[in-house]
């Protein structure tokens, strides 16, 4: 019998995503399941005889678990990760093509392959800053600031929250001042005035927007997506299409690289869903750390 620990965000979801129901579904498939709420002390004290970890929640819960795992020594046991997505955007689960209800996902854990997942490391802001989805400047950290203020007024369902975020982002794009940015990607310099520069590890970010359609989380590269002042109207059209549930494909100016130096002449910065408070523009260095995590991928 395989042993697992369920790392659960109890504030995510409804009764179908409760501690009781999740543990029941996991043990029904013959797994010995320990439970740990990521909201309680000691949840990250993993036992060595655990065969794999289960992360139940949204992108923020995955990031929280990743942060705990990154603190472990490389000689410590590394655990395969099973994901039960239940957030608003679920960008990481989408990148891994994991979707559905826990009752449909869990039975497939008996047969799986491991998918490597890279991590982006940022130097120059604070110690141990990393990202799973994206690190960037401009309109997205500004969106986070606005959404924090109106959180109680945007509905309860994931669909309502995504649509509200896209609408707010469209308003920001229409008035956001473009900033100068210099990017040195694997030794090659790119510069210009941009409303957005995002260093992507996966295809989508924020309110489930696909910005780097060719990005793969385990390919050893970062995809730098830039929206210049000249591309503002085109980006507005992209957002409007998503608000209208139109699946029309857009492509953005993208650079692929393993190491980057970036100087953004502004203060709006984020790493995943964390908005970073900057007092002044800083030059940062970013590198890709390959194969830092491994997710269990099944055929469904």
Long-range contacts of 266-269 (CB under 8 A, 24+ apart): 266/137, 266/138, 266/179, 268/137, 268/138, 268/139, 268/141, 268/142, 268/145, 269/125, 269/135, 269/136, 269/137, 269/141
Q: What pLDDT shows up at residue 74?
A: 63
The residue with tokens 């995943």 is 272
> Range with the lowest mean pLDDT among 12-26, 92-106, 117-131, 171-185?
12-26
* Domain with residues 3-110, CATH architecture: 3-Layer(aba) Sandwich (3.40)
Please list, in sequence order, all residues whose beta carbon lies within 8 angstroms of the beta carbon of residue 94, skipping any fewer than 6 positions away: 202, 203, 204, 208
Higher pLDDT, 220 or 78: 220
Domain borders along the chain are 3-110, 121-291
Q: What is the mean pLDDT of residues 220-227?
A: 96
Average pLDDT (236-255) is 86
Distance CA 253, CA 271 (A): 20
Provide mean pLDDT across the span 196-203: 97
What's the pLDDT at 15? Answer: 57
Place of tokens 């060719």: 214
| Mean pLDDT of the region 144-164 | 87
Collapsed DSSP state (helix, strand, coil) of residue 286: strand
Instruction: Please state the pTM of the whole predicted model.
Output: 0.94
CA distance 38 to 54: 12
Q: Which of 40-49, 155-164, 194-203, 283-292 bottoms out in mean pLDDT, i.e. has the lowest?
A: 155-164
Q: Are 293 and 68 in contact (CB under 8 A)?
A: no
Per-residue pLDDT at 97 exceeds 80? yes
Give mean pLDDT, residues 178-200: 97
Whether the per-residue pLDDT at 155 is higher than 80: the answer is no
Q: Where do we find the tokens 């130096």?
A: 261
Instruction: Say if residue 76's pLDDT is above 90.
Output: no
**Better-scored residue on pLDDT, 247 or 54:** 54
Report long-range pairs for 13-19 (Cβ below 8 Å, ≥24 apart).
13/86, 16/101, 16/102, 17/56, 17/84, 17/86, 17/102
- Cα separation, 250 vs 192, in Å, equals 21
Give, in words, the CATH class of 121-291: mainly beta
Alpha carbons 39 and 25: distance in angstroms, whole number = 22
Q: CA 221 to CA 150: how far, in whole Å? A: 35
Taking 80 as the threshold, does the pLDDT of residue 247 lie above it?
Answer: no
255 is written with which tokens?
């650079």
Q: Which two tokens stand for residue 99?
A: 């979707």
Strands in the chain per DSSP E: 3-8, 32-37, 52-57, 81-85, 113-123, 129-131, 134-138, 179-185, 188-200, 204-205, 209-210, 222-228, 253-257, 259-264, 268-271, 274-277, 283-297
DSSP state of 152: G
DSSP state for residue 217 in the 8-state scheme: T
pLDDT tens digit sequence for 14-68: 556 899 999 999 999 999 999 999 999 999 999 889 999 999 999 999 999 999 9
């Amino acid at each position: 019998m395989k042993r697992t620990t369920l790392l659960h965000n109890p504030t995510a979801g409804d009764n179908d995503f409760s501690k009781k129901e999740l543990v029941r579904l996991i043990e029904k498939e013959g797994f010995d399941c320990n439970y740990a709420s990521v909201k309680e002390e000691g949840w990250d004290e993993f036992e060595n005889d655990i065969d794999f970890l289960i992360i139940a929640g949204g992108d923020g819960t995955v990031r929280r678990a990743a942060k705990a795992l990154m603190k472990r020594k490389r000689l410590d046991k590394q655990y395969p990760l099973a994901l039960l997505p239940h957030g608003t955007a679920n960008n990481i689960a989408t990148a891994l093509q994991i979707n559905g209800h826990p009752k449909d996902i869990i039975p497939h854990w008996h047969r799986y392959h491991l998918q490597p997942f890279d991590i982006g490391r940022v130097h120059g802001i604070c110690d141990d800053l990393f990202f799973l989805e994206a690190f960037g400047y401009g309109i997205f950290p500004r969106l986070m600031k606005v959404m924090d203020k109106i959180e109680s007024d945007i509905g309860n369902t994931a669909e309502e929250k995504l649509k509200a975020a896209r609408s707010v982002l469209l308003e920001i794009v229409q008035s956001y001042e473009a900033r100068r940015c210099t990017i040195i990607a694997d030794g090659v310099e790119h510069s210009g005035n941009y409303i957005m520069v995002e260093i992507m590890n996966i295809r989508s970010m924020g309110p489930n927007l696909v910005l780097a359609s060719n990005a793969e989380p385990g390919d050893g590269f970062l995809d730098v997506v830039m929206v210049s002042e000249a591309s503002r109207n085109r980006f507005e059209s992209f957002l409007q299409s998503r608000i209208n549930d139109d699946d029309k494909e857009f492509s953005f100016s993208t650079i692929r690289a393993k190491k980057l130096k970036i100087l953004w002449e502004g203060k709006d910065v984020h790493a995943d869903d964390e908005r970073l408070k900057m007092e002044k523009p800083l030059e940062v260095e970013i590198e890709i750390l390959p194969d830092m995590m491994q997710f269990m991928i099944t055929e469904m």
